[in-house]
Structure 1
């Protein structure tokens, strides 16, 4: 039995710039889940969530009243909890059967620790088998593990691979200005930061470990490595 694809957009409390791609994601979503103050980020762009999740310590009272008047589902958690509102929202997307998740508002908020935690959530084992990306107005970020990964890109865009496990072994990258062949990337290494695509597809092979791959689609014609 083939299960229906379900795309969920999760909106966190960081900056959300309503680009063409972000608009496409919101309009094409089967479900939009806001994590606490993410509801206000949506409201500023004339959208409302289908579900609000969190301890509700940052969403405005005006937005809460609007959501109540629209009978939007609200899942309130205690302030003292074992997960961020962002994690709770992403887990809720998984529980509802998401096959793909786009996370907005993961960067640019008042909490630098939350920004890092949002990035590391991409490697959460509960997301295995689900296509998850963090999307900003300039960048797409995904977690990649062992295997071959073929990515559609814009020639000239910046590509960065950042290890988030202690070592990422056997990294090969083709379709870029500075290819890698069977390289090992230690945690903290910047060897594979700020590469540049030269083809419409790039291929990344990894033998073991986990990394984040960044695609900066507003960096065409910029140089640097």
Structure 2
């Protein structure tokens, strides 16, 4: 049987997935909140059938969970889970980064530089506004994934990408407080890019670990401050 190729145009499910993903990452669908078929069907003017396709894809991306009798929910968050997530990301991302630097070819170098340029063109302003730009989120993910792709192991890259999606939920969890801390995110990305294409695996891995841990430290600090009772 000849399999029909899928159109490159996004389906209704693709569009709704992008909308719900943006709502989750910007905190408008908060951690732990229920993803109801009726409410979201009315909100996005789509059928239950479309949402039955979308919700499992959110689970695959690590942005939602599903349990018998409870249905679908946005993933819950806590400082303990964030710490565990950070340890997992550091272990996997540094491993893949070392492999990518060792195995990546000239085409990989060009892709890393191109994705970094695209991210830099958007600028840090898009990352520090109250609503994080979908354009920045996409460019940020594309830059980091471009580096990891050099390892040549799709399973490792998919695992890292899933953990990165979960980490973005934490980013919005304490975004307003985190933005009060000055941080040269653009400089961190530039340094990682330069170390990678210079084939300095130790430095690229070290900078990647620092980048991940610094984000976690700021998130925990911001969350702790937000939870403190007002004087």
The alignment's TM-score, normalised by the length of structure 2, stands at 0.25
Structure number with higher helix proportion = 2
The alignment's TM-score, normalised by the length of structure 1, stands at 0.25
Higher relative contact order (CA 8 A, sep 6+): 2
Structure number with higher strand proportion = 1
